[in-house]
Homo-oligomer: A and B are copies of this chain.
Amino acid sequence: MQQRMALSDGARPTGQFRNTAYVINESRRHFDAAHSAGLMAVQGRSTTGRTFLLGAGPLDARPEVIDFVRCSYLGLDNHPEVVSGAIAAIEAHRSLHWSCARTRLNFDLLAELEATLSEMFCARVLAFSSVMLANLGAMPILASGELTGGRKPVVVFDRTAHISLAYHKPVVADETRVETIAHNDIDALDRLCRDNPVVAYVCDGVYSMGGNSPIKELRQLQERYGLFLYIDDAHGISLFGHLGQGFARSQFPQVLGDRTIIAASLAKGFGASGGMLMLGTPDQETLFRRYAIPHAFSAAANLAAVGAALGSCKIHRSAELGQRQRQLAQRIDLFDRRIATAERGNSLPIRMITMGSEAKAIAFARELLDCGFYTSVTFFPTVGQGKAGIRVCITADHGISQIEQLCDCILEKVAETTDKLLCDRPSSEG
């Protein structure tokens, strides 16, 4: 699950960027409570659709739970085409994995996958074993200035950019200037673009804790100033566009150009396993295939991931993709008609029910689990301190009645445990 590591400036007594000890000490008791409540590090076995068998005992003794934690927004992670693709790739090579760098030896099927994705997304697509490693590969190259005509950019991070991006701030800062601006603060970004010759902006497309980047405004800054955009659209891929181009890519022109890189997941909406980068030019591709650290010094996505992704490409190129996108939209709408959140009305599948107190959020998530619904209780450092809540991931694969039952349960528990209905109270989580 992609989540963000939120640290306000006041929370950093030492270090310019990181204070791991502080994070640990401030959150330890909440982790203890959430684990004691059986809400974290849960084990399960897949059944059908969005249900799983909870726990570790004999299969027939485990309770069946409806899952709102997994980010398989189109419900593709157990699609027969994806599963059979994974197995077919293993069987074709009679192997799962080659332990060598991609700069050396590559499964032919991986080349086929990258060619297919490149055609689908009108970009030069490189696959990685995870989005976290795709981002690790990109950040030093971005800092080097090699993507911006040999001039090092000021690299500006959105304050709530995913930890798989924000982690690299000290690394980037060792090579060039790093700035962090408030969430979606286009004015601040505009000022930085005016004051500096080369600026790169690093953000999420769809934010894992709700909301999204203002792509239109970012493109305007790009047109005005030549702003370089690095957008992690892990949570937006597949959900929009007739080929599942995703939230970010579908808002850019056919030709991506030399000033935009989009990272995305091969899991989540896409339904397989791994990550990818969409690059815009042959020079960028050459650069990444030589110098992206995971490409040169770690291993590729394994063959099962490659085969599953090839299976998912078939679904993406069929009418089923649009059907699933529409099913998802219906389910989001259904949820929104029942439960008010800060995200109500946006077309994204992530909904945050903000409770404030960590203890209250943990108790609430436990009550939902007792009713058969597994949701993500979120607290610091995933969200800010005192901004705990419940994350609900809606998918196309949830039955209408499953969504309705969850909403009933949320409203009932809210009525029981708070003075006024949650739906009367605007959520503060962005």
Q: When the two chains form their complex, are residues B173 and A170 in contact, meaning their CB atoms are under 8 A apart?
A: yes
Q: Are A44 and B291 in contact (CB under 8 A)?
A: no
Residues of B within 8 A of A27 (CB): 290
> A244 CB to closest chain B CB, in angstroms?
15
Tell me whether A415 is interfacial, beta carbon within 8 Å: no
Interface string of A167-209 (1 = CB under 8 A from B): 1101101110000000000000000000000000000000000
Contacts of A41 in B (CB 8 A): 102-104, 106, 289
Within 8 Å CB of A103, what residues of B? 40-41
Stretch from A92-100, A326-334, A399-407 contacting the other chain: A92-100
Binary contact readout A1-38 vs B (1 if CB under 8 angstroms, 0 otherwise): 11101000000001111111101100100010000000
A293 lies within 8 A of chain B by Cβ: yes
The reply to whether A46 and B96 contact each other, CB–CB distance below 8 Å, is no
Q: Is A52 positioned at the interface, with any CB of B under 8 Å from its CB?
A: yes
Let me know if A42 is at the binding interface, CB within 8 A: yes
Q: Is A100 within 8 A of B71, CB to CB?
A: yes
What chain B residues lie within 8 Å of A272 (beta carbons)?
A: 96-97
Chain B residues whose C-beta falls within 8 Å of the C-beta of A24 in the assembled complex: 144, 146, 287, 290-291
Given contacts A3-B296, A289-B41, contact A99 B83 (CB under 8 A): no
Asked if A155 is an interface residue, CB under 8 A from chain B, the answer is no
Q: How far is the CB of A427 from chain B (nearest CB, A)?
A: 21
Across the interface, which residues of B come within 8 angstroms of A19, CB to CB?
A: 175
Interface members, chain A 239-283 (any B CB < 8 Å): 265, 267-268, 272-273
Q: Which of B97, B171, B304 contacts A96 (CB 8 A)?
A: B304
Contacts of A102 in B (CB 8 A): 41
With A95-B46, A171-B170, A267-B99 as given contacts, are A273 and B297 in contact (CB-CB < 8 Å)?
A: no
**Contacting A18 at CB < 8 Å: which of B15, B174, B374?**
B174
A374 to B106 CA separation, bound complex (whole angstroms): 13
Scoring A44, A98, A305 by chain B CB atoms within 10 A of each residue's CB, the highest score goes to A98
Residue A60 at the chain B interface, CB threshold 8 Å: no
Flag whether A212 is at the interface (Cβ < 8 A). no
Interface residues of A in 275-315 (CB under 8 A from B): 287, 289-291, 293-294, 296-299, 302-305, 308
* Chain B residues positioned under 8 Å from A129 (CB to CB): 129-130
Interface segment among A131-139, A223-231, A317-325, A352-360: the answer is A131-139
**Docked complex Cα distance between A41 and B105 (Å):** 6
Name A69's contact: one of B2, B40, B83, B105 (CB within 8 Å).
Answer: B105
Q: Is the CB of A1 within 8 A of B267?
A: no
Cβ of A43 < 8 Å from any Cβ of B? yes
**Interchain CB contact under 8 A, B95 and A77:** yes
A108 CB contact (under 8 Å) in B3, B56, B67, B162: B56
| 23 sampled A-B residue pairs with Cβ under 8 A | A2-B297, A15-B175, A17-B174, A18-B175, A20-B144, A21-B146, A31-B290, A42-B106, A44-B105, A45-B93, A45-B107, A69-B104, A78-B94, A82-B96, A90-B304, A96-B305, A96-B308, A129-B130, A162-B297, A168-B171, A170-B174, A273-B299, A296-B382
